[in-house]
Structure 1
C-alpha cells in the first residue's frame, strides 16, 4: 500500500513538472493564432452557457453536462471525435454528448480508485504485493471508461427495436390517411400526431422541422434515419421520394413495407425466444450435473478415503 501511494505521488509530481515545462517552453503566438484561440474560447463559453437553456435533456445534471462540455472541447481541440455509430446510439437513447463524456470520466475515476479501496486493507496486511492493486487500478479505469458505451449500446438496441415496431404502425396509419384522400405530407403529419410515444414524437418533430424549413417530409425522414442509424427510415424516405406523386403507388408501397417490418419483427422475436430457450436448457443441464455430483460425492469420498 505504501509503495502504491509513493508511485501515485510520483506520477502526480511528474505530471506537474511536465505541465510546468510545457507552459514555460511555449512559443509566442502569432496574431491569427491568438485570434482563433480567442474565438474558440468565446464559442466554448457560449456553449457552456447554452447548456442550461437546452430543454431537450432536462433530466441530466447541469454539472455533469458542464464537465462533459469541457472534456468534449479538449477532444475537439485535438481532433478526436466520437465514432458515428456511437453518436447514433446517443441520439437514439436521448443522451447528450456532454453527459456521456462526463459519465465516462466519472466511471473511469470510480473504477480506478475502487481496487485501492477494496484491496487496501489486504495489501496493508502483507497478503498481496503493492503492485497488484496498481495493475488493477489501470485495468479498472479502462473498464470504467468503456462501461457507459456498453450501457448505451444495450439501450440503443432496445430502442431501435421499439422504433421499428412503431414504424410499422405508422406506415399503416399513413396508408389509411392516403386512402381517405389526403396528400402525402398531410397523411404523414396526421399519422405522426396519433401518439405521444418517444418514437412518434421524434418522427413528428422531424416532419414539423421540415415543414418550417421548406424541405420535403421524406428528406426529413431520411435525415432522421441517418441520425438514428435506422435503415428502415432511410429506405422509406427513398421510396417516398420515388413515388410521391402517385397516391396509389404510395399506399401499396407503404402497406408492403409495413407487412415486411412486421414479418421481420416476428422473426426477430422468434429468434430471441429460441436463444432464451437454449439458455434455459443449458441452465437446466448445469443444475442436473450439480445434482448428480451432489449425489455421487459421498460414494466417491468414501472410496478415496477423503
Structure 2
C-alpha cells in the first residue's frame, strides 16, 4: 500500500474512532416530554402469530422430534413478544437454510460472471458459517426483545405496587386495592392483570392468585413473590400494606442496581474506541519518522 493510501486509511479510522468515542461518551439525556409520552403510551395491541403457514408447519414437525422438544423451554420468553415455539423453530430452520444457500449462491453468480475466481473451499466455509450464524442472530434478536419487555414489565410492577400501597393506606381492602390498581395503567402488565383478575374472579378465588399467574406467564419472580407474600399476610392476619411496601422498596433497589450495572457496561464500551484513537495517533506520529 502506498503512503497516501495508508494515510487515507489511518485518517478514516481516526475519524471513525473519534465518532465512536464522542457518541459513546456523551449519551443524550431523554427529555421530560419524551419520558411523559412513554409513560402515557397506549396499550399495545395483542401480537398475532402472523408467520407464514410453511414456517408454522416446519416448526410443528421439528417440535415433535426429540431435538425440537428442547425448544419448549423458550416458551416463556417467546410469549412476551407474541411468538409461539413452533413459529420460532420454523424461523430458525428457514434462517439456517437461507444462511447455507445464500453465500454459495452469491459466490456462484460472481464466479459465473467472472468477477470472482476462488476455490470451492471458500463458498463451502461461508455456507457453513452462514448456516450457523443466521439462526443464532434470529434467536438472539428474539431473546433480546423478550428481555426488554421483561424489564419494562418490572418497572410497571413497581408503579403497580405504589398504587396498591396508596390504596391500602386509604383503608381499602387488599383485593379491592389490587383490582383498582390494575385499572390505573395501560401497559402490558396492567392489561394482563385485568384479564387474569376477571378470569380468577369468575371462579370465586382470591384475586391474589392472578398475580401469581401473571408472574409465571411473564417470568417475573418479583410478582410471584409479591403474590405469595400477600396471600400469606392475608391468611395470617398480618398487615398486607406493610408487606407490599417492603416488596416495592426491594424491587426499586434491584432495578436501580441493574440500571447502574448497565450504565457501567455502556461506559466500558467506550474504552476500545479510545484505545484505537490513541494507537492511530501513535501511528501517525511514528510512521513519518520511520520513512526518514
**TM interval, short-chain normalised:** 0.7 to 0.9
The answer to whether the aligner puts 1:93 opposite 2:119 as a matched pair is no
Q: Residue in 1 aligned with 2:199?
A: 209
Q: What SS class does the counterpart of residue 127 from structure 1 fall into?
A: coil
- 8 Å Cα contact 1:178/1:247 also seen in 2: no
Aligned residues: 245
Output one character per residue of 1:125-167: Cα deviation in whole Å (capped at 9) or x when no partner.
5732123312322331232223221111111221111111111
1:71 aligns with 2:31: no
Q: Which residues in structure 2 correspond to 1:2-151 (within 5 Å)?
A: 56-58=46-48, 60-61=49-50, 64-79=51-66, 80-83=68-71, 85-124=73-112, 125=114, 127-151=117-141
1:244 aligns with 2:203: no
Residues 168-202 of structure 1: per-residue CA shift (max 9 Å, x gap): 11111111112222222221111111111122212
TM-score normalized by structure 1?
A: 0.72
In the TM superposition, what is the alpha-carbon distance from 1:246 to its structure 2 partner?
A: 6.5
Q: Which residue of 2 aligns with 1:224?
A: 214
Q: Give the alignment's TM-score, normalised by structure 2.
A: 0.75
* Structure number with higher relative contact order (C-alpha < 8 Å, ≥ 6 residues apart): 2
- Runs of at least 5 residues in structure 1 that lack an aligned partner in the other structure: 1-54
> 1:209, 1:81 → 2: CA distance?
30
Which stretch shifts more, 75-84 or 148-157? Answer: 75-84
Deviations along 1:231-264, whole A, 9 cap, x unmatched? 1112112111211246762101111111111111
The alignment partner of 1:89 has SS state of helix
When residues 171 and 85 of structure 1 are mapped into structure 2, their CA distance, relative to the original with a 3 A threshold, is farther
Q: Tell which structure's C-alpha radius of gyration is larger.
A: 1
Contact preservation (8 Å) 1:225, 1:234? yes
For the aligned residues, what is the CA RMSD? 2.4
